[in-house]
Amino acid sequence: MPQQPEPLDPHQDMVALLQGAWRARAVHVAAELGLPDLLVSGPRGVAELAELTGTHAPTLGRLLRALTTFGVFHRLPDGRTYGQSPLSAVLVSEPANPESTDARFMAANWHWAAWGDLLHSVRTGESSFEVANGGVSFWELTKTDPDAKRRFNAAMSAVSVAESTATARAYDFSAARHVVDVAGGLGSLLAAVLTENPALRGTVLERPETVPLAEDLLAAAGVDGRYEVVAGDFFESVPPGADVYTIKRALHDWDDDTIVRILGRIREAMRPDSVLLVIEGMVGDDSDQEALFRGLLLTVLVGGQDRPESDYRTLATRAGLRTTRTVRVGDTLRILETRLP
Ligand SMILES: C[S@@+](CC[C@H](N)C(=O)[O-])C[C@H]1O[C@@H](n2cnc3c(N)ncnc32)[C@H](O)[C@@H]1O
């Protein structure tokens, strides 16, 4: 079990923890206003930044000053001009990097409000999102609200692209002819798998509202003529008869019984010799702070959670699948290879 370091001064450390939410919110606001982007071409004065962002100059100045105390932005000796620092540079939006898209995802009031009701999740084990957002679920909001949809998809895509390539390289798809990626998101896993395996064809199954985005990504991936994107619902049915099925970071959004239902739908689509790869962040005793807080985020947003590998094996068994092996992709990301009994 990893040991926590002894705090040097528990009072001071606790104050820093208590104010952590304020610090995070200040960073969200800086990202939301696009301040890092505005400083790409060089330092600017507070008055100019306030004009460009339509904000109250004295308060913007205080925000910037506070942010510099932990290294976000750099204050020039005149005290009124701010420049980029290595930390603020990470939040520049072009070229898209995971931290900048994550900052905009977290900056949304509905995201922040859901964390504000964490106590509801801890009391009930349920998502706090609906309680905090007038009864609207995360899935409903990202379906109907274009801004929420854009923020979610950007955050999902930023995380997904790098790990999709790693996943495609970690598993040998060379014997397969057709792969179906269930809840394939923006299509980055399928794009990576098809790029690594030039003879393979593939299908993404996604919610109708995500289909055009997956089509765009795959069209740009140089895998012409070897893919299709199908609008559907994994609670209803999954395209049948593929050699390999994949489902990446989609089961963790649901409770155990629902996961068994989804796996059951995929099992119904499988041929006797098909393989289903369950690709998830699988937590263990060595999981770091980031992974543990990401797990809480899943609960807050959608009532999901990260699980240890043993739980996924049990869920696969409950769905009538046997686990044949596990492949490690990255820090916590694992591929659980499952087949029909
Ligand atoms: C956390 S994302 C993961 C996406 C992708 N596999 C990845 O790794 O980036 C979960 C995905 O499940 C999809 N999803 C949610 N409910 C679904 C349903 N009923 N049928 C099909 N896809 C669904 C969402 O649209 C979303 O793209």
Protein residue with least CA distance to atom 12, ligand 1: 183
- What is the per-residue DSSP string for 71-107? TSSEE-TTSSEEE--HHHHTT--SS--HHHHHHHHHH
Closest ligand 1 atom, residue 252 Cα: 1
The whole-number pLDDT of residue 169 equals 97
The whole-number pLDDT of residue 8 equals 75
85-116 pLDDT tens trace? 999 999 999 877 789 999 999 999 999 999 99
Phi/psi class of residue 317: alpha, beta or left (left: φ > 0; alpha: ψ in -120 to 50)?
alpha
Ligand 1: centre distance to CA 70 (Å) = 36
**Amino acid sitting at position 1:** M
The whole-number pLDDT of residue 162 equals 81
User: Does the CB atom of residue 206 touch ligand 1 within 6 A?
Assistant: yes
* Side-chain half-sphere CA neighbours of 331 within 13 A: 12
Q: Which of 253, 261, 332 to mutate to test the pocket of ligand 1 (most atoms within 8 A of CB)?
A: 253
138-168 pLDDT tens trace? 999 999 999 999 999 888 887 788 899 999 9
Ligand 1: centre distance to CA 101 (Å) = 18
Catalytic annotation on 252? yes
Q: Which of 139, 206, 299 to mutate to test the pocket of ligand 1 (most atoms within 8 A of CB)?
A: 206
User: Does the CB atom of residue 184 touch ligand 1 within 6 A?
Assistant: yes
Whole-prediction pTM value? Answer: 0.86
The whole-number pLDDT of residue 7 equals 63
3-state secondary structure of 138: helix
User: What is the b/e burial string over 22-41, where b = at least 16 CB atoms within 10 angstroms of the residue's CB?
Assistant: eeeebbbbbbebbbbebbee
Whether residue 202 contacts residue 210, with contact meaning beta carbons closer than 8 Å, is answered with no
User: Does the CB atom of residue 246 touch ligand 1 within 6 A?
Assistant: no
Closest ligand 1 atom, residue 205 Cα: 21
Domains in the chain and their CATH numbers? 10-91 (1.10.10.10), 146-339 (3.40.50.150)
